[in-house]
Chain A
Amino acid sequence: MRPLITAIGLLLAWEALAWATGVPVYILPPPSRVAVVLVERFDLLIEQAAWTAAEMILGLVLGLILGAALAVVFAASAGWRRWALPLVIISQAIPVIAIAPLLVLWLGYGMASKVAMAALVIFFPVVSTLYDGLRRTDPGWLDLAQTMDAPPRAVLLQIRLPAALPAFASGARIAAAVAPIGAVIGEWVGASAGLGFLMTQSLARGQTPLAFAALVLLCLLGLALYHATDWAARRLVPWQSPQGE
């Protein structure tokens, strides 16, 4: 309830500011104008939002799978870890926006470059949280497994991996929060569809209210993605829920 009141208050203040100062609509459109555009151009907006949503979700899924797989490989093999971990860290030192033009060059203006971009941004939080979780297994459980003559593979899959799922769930939440950044940066650099593409196009043509309408949808998409991931993450670790929120 409180966030809703805050939001309405801010919108009213914005509306009042826009009317009082008489600032041109192409600089700062009042919320009422954005709302009208949202309704009038709904079909276009929804179409572009669906495109961006597909990029985010595919990027998120791909990043989660690759990140989880690499974390498990790191936990299972010290050799792989020594060779590949420095590479993963170096890859994070390059700002993602700097490789965006390259990805567009290699993968084209379509969806693939944006999916790759989103996957790239979320890959690191997933690898590092899950790998960290895999390293921090309760030593008591490992001792118990050892006295039970458990083979290392069974210890990894049946004890260390489930024990690391809460860490993976936090990684997935971070990933869901940053996945939109990857997709939208990709759309800004070069695209033929999507909300980020729509924003750059409409701003270039002075259709600022449309850009704002796209921004509103982008915000809703981000929130939906985060909450869907949060819900799924809770389902993944039901035994953690009492200590959770």
Chain B
Amino acid sequence: MVASPPLSVRGARIAFGDRVVATDLALEFPAGRTTCLLGRSGVGKTSLLRWLAGLLPGTERAEPLAYMAQRDLLLPWLDILGNVLLGYRLRGDAAALRAAEPRARALLTEVGLGDRLGDRPDALSAGMRQRAALARTLCEDRSVVLMDEPFGHLDAVTRLELQDLAARLLAGRTVVLVTHDPLEALRLGHQVRVLAGTPFTVELPIEPSGPVPRDASDPELLALQGRLIAQLRSAA
């Protein structure tokens, strides 16, 4: 993989319809690092991510990237391997599709689905489906990855497992991960940034010490979690 680029936002105005989510926004996402955007529901985190992905009307994204949503978005008529290779199938480049297949298989083995390649998504549990979606995101092999509450609807233990897996597999990429869970942000983020207000502003980065994924029972992390919750509360 080529060195991941940083991602910068300068003087951006994010709006759709009459709703202005952010004005004159300046943000820097450091290269090869995971930045977690934390905020309460409705603050505009998802809009920011969709803006970065070029999914809002009239926007263009800065560079090729991979996008992972809260729902797994697996296509029910394709098997798991077919879903992981979806990007290559859609782009219709047969040579690239053939070249990507061994990597898709390897990624599925890494996420623990090596023996489920031929299964349809509806045969898998929610956690397995989200792992397949993670494999699909990584199979795109983009240096920039955007994730929108990717583990939001999973049970606590499955969520911790997937966070560990994601942290390991996303290492070296420029990742922007949106979440409303302070602990998730602190476990996965090299940087955590809190979004608050309408239109929102972004607070100064918080950089917990140590490599990711961090231990959820670390006292420093728990102290930071308390501070973040207080910060999110006062912002309301």
Q: Which residues of A contact B (CB under 8 A)?
A: 138, 140-141, 143-151, 154-155, 158-159, 162-163, 165, 237, 239-240, 242
Is B69 a contact partner of A162 (Cβ separation < 8 A)?
A: no
Find chain B residues with CB under 8 A from A240 CB: 76
Known pairs A144-B86, A239-B77, A242-B122 / 10 extra A-B pairs, C-beta < 8 Å: A144-B73, A145-B90, A146-B55, A147-B53, A147-B66, A149-B64, A149-B87, A151-B91, A154-B92, A159-B90
Dominant secondary structure at the A interface: helix
Separation of A229 and B177 alpha carbons in the complex (Å): 47
Is B91 a contact partner of A149 (Cβ separation < 8 A)?
A: yes
Is A239 a contact partner of B90 (Cβ separation < 8 A)?
A: no
Is A155 a contact partner of B66 (Cβ separation < 8 A)?
A: no
Write the B29-52 contact mask toward A (1 if CB under 8 angstroms, else 0).
000000000000000000000100
Smallest CB-CB separation from A242: which chain B residue? Answer: B122
* A140, A148, A149, A155: the one within 8 Å of B69 (CB): A140
Separation of A154 and B86 alpha carbons in the complex (Å): 11
3 closest Cβ pairs, A-B complex: A150-B90, A148-B87, A239-B76
Find chain A residues with CB under 8 A from B90 CB: 145, 148-151, 154-155, 158-159
Write the B2-42 contact mask toward A (1 if CB under 8 angstroms, else 0).
00000000000000000000000000000000000000000
Size of B's binding interface in residues, CB under 8 A: 24
- Give chain A nearest CB distance to B85 CB in angstroms: 11
22 contacts between A and B (CB under 8 A): A140-B71, A143-B55, A144-B86, A147-B53, A147-B67, A148-B87, A148-B90, A149-B64, A150-B87, A151-B91, A154-B89, A154-B90, A154-B91, A155-B90, A158-B90, A159-B90, A162-B75, A162-B77, A163-B75, A237-B77, A239-B122, A240-B76
Separation of A74 and B90 alpha carbons in the complex (Å): 21
Is A141 a contact partner of B73 (Cβ separation < 8 A)?
A: yes
Smallest CB-CB separation from B71: which chain A residue? Answer: A140
Is B91 a contact partner of A141 (Cβ separation < 8 A)?
A: no
B120 lies within 8 A of chain A by Cβ: yes
* B53, B64, B66, B120: the one within 8 Å of A239 (CB): B120
- Give chain A nearest CB distance to B231 CB in angstroms: 31
Is B69 a contact partner of A158 (Cβ separation < 8 A)?
A: no
Is B76 a contact partner of A143 (Cβ separation < 8 A)?
A: no
Find chain B residues with CB under 8 A from A149 CB: 64, 87, 90-91
Separation of A150 and B90 alpha carbons in the complex (Å): 5
- Give chain A nearest CB distance to B153 CB in angstroms: 13
Write the B79-110 contact mask toward A (1 if CB under 8 angstroms, else 0).
00000001101111000000000000000000
- Give chain B nearest CB distance to A244 CB in angstroms: 12
